[in-house]
Amino acid sequence: MSRRYLMCRPTYFAVDYAINPWMDPTAPVDAGLAVAQWTRLHELYLSLGHTVDLIDPLPGLPDMVFAANGATVVDGKVYGAQFRHPERADEGPAYLAWFDQQGFDVYAAKSVNEGEGDILLAGEHLLAGTGLRTELAAHAEAQELFGRPVITLQLVDPRYYHLDTALTVLSPTNVAYYPGAFSPGSQAVLRRLYPDAVIATAADAAVLGLNAVSDGHRVVLPSAATRLAEALASKGFQPVPVDVSELHKAGGGPKCCTLEVRA
């Protein structure tokens, strides 16, 4: 199924600060390679028949490439992001202004939330992560704004700081997830909601394999996640691997670079 995405070219990509355990400002980053990998991801979406809008990157915001964190867009309503860390604070208004200019109904958040990093549409309801970045209060805000039930999931491992590092929505009725990233209660919720889920291993999660983008059948995921790709194929999904090794140095993958625009 064809989707509409928003992406941001990593023109100013760098790892200048560390706000997650993957980031090491002393390690070298090849900004040119990051742009090349991002460009391949962009072209891949176009070749799969998706529409991709682009927002202009801003200097001084090296993580702005991670468009998924910029907002949550459902039914044409845009719930703006309010970032936990000051290093990313200016991204929220930049993304909201873009949506405003495009004529969407935009809502500035009252609570800390990092967009689709932590708030994922799954069929009729929203799955929402908390514990590391997005505040619980944002779940209530999102429920009120979108008029859809929000299912709160507690994240417990700092490596999997956003819900979209630990869980991929594969279709309206199924997900893939790494149980170790969730509290025991949230693991039980996921088992109850998704008895047929694809269960990722610690190794799948460690290459950020769950930071994937599904259109309901084709699943774009990091090429390093080979076992997860096999598990998805065995459930009838089509894995589409993409190399995002340079973006991984900031703690990101294909999903982080991709905000779904649901008009």
Ligand X SMILES: CN(C)C(=N)NCCC[C@H](N)C(=O)O
Catalytic site includes residue 256:
yes
Among 66, 79, 95, 237, binds ligand X (CB under 6 A): 66
| H-helix or E-strand spanning residue 151 | strand 150-154
CA of 110: how far to CAs of 37, 75, 121, 233, in Å?
A: 35, 20, 20, 41
Give dist(CA 7, CA 262) in Å, integer. 14
Size of the chain, expressed as the number of residues it contains: 263
Q: Does the protein bind ligand X through residue 63 (CB under 6 A)? A: yes
Catalytic residue among 50, 139, 162, 248: 162
Give dist(CA 183, CA 180) in Å, integer. 8
Dihedral sign, Cα of residue 90, residue 91, residue 97, residue 98: positive
Contact segment (CB under 6 A) with ligand X among 5-13, 18-26, 37-45, 225-233 equals: 18-26
Q: How many of the other CB atoms lie within 10 Å of CB of 259?
A: 28
Q: Considering the complex, what minimum distance in angstroms separates the CB of residue 195 from ligand X?
A: 25
Give dist(CA 203, CA 42) in Å, integer. 26
Q: Does the protein bind ligand X through residue 61 (CB under 6 A)? A: no
Q: Does the protein bind ligand X through residue 13 (CB under 6 A)? A: no
Give dist(CA 241, CA 224) in Å, integer. 8
From residue 21 to residue 40, what is the string marking binding to ligand X with x (rule CB under 6 A)? --x-----------------
Q: Does the protein bind ligand X through residue 166 (CB under 6 A)? A: no
Among 106, 207, 256, 259, binds ligand X (CB under 6 A): 256
Footprint (CB under 6 A) of ligand X, residues 87-146:
88, 117
Catalytic residue among 50, 248, 256, 257: 256
Q: Which residues are catalytic?
A: 162, 256
Residues of this chain that interact with ligand X (CB under 6 A) are 19-20, 23, 63, 66, 68-69, 88, 117, 162, 164-165, 211, 250-252, 255-256
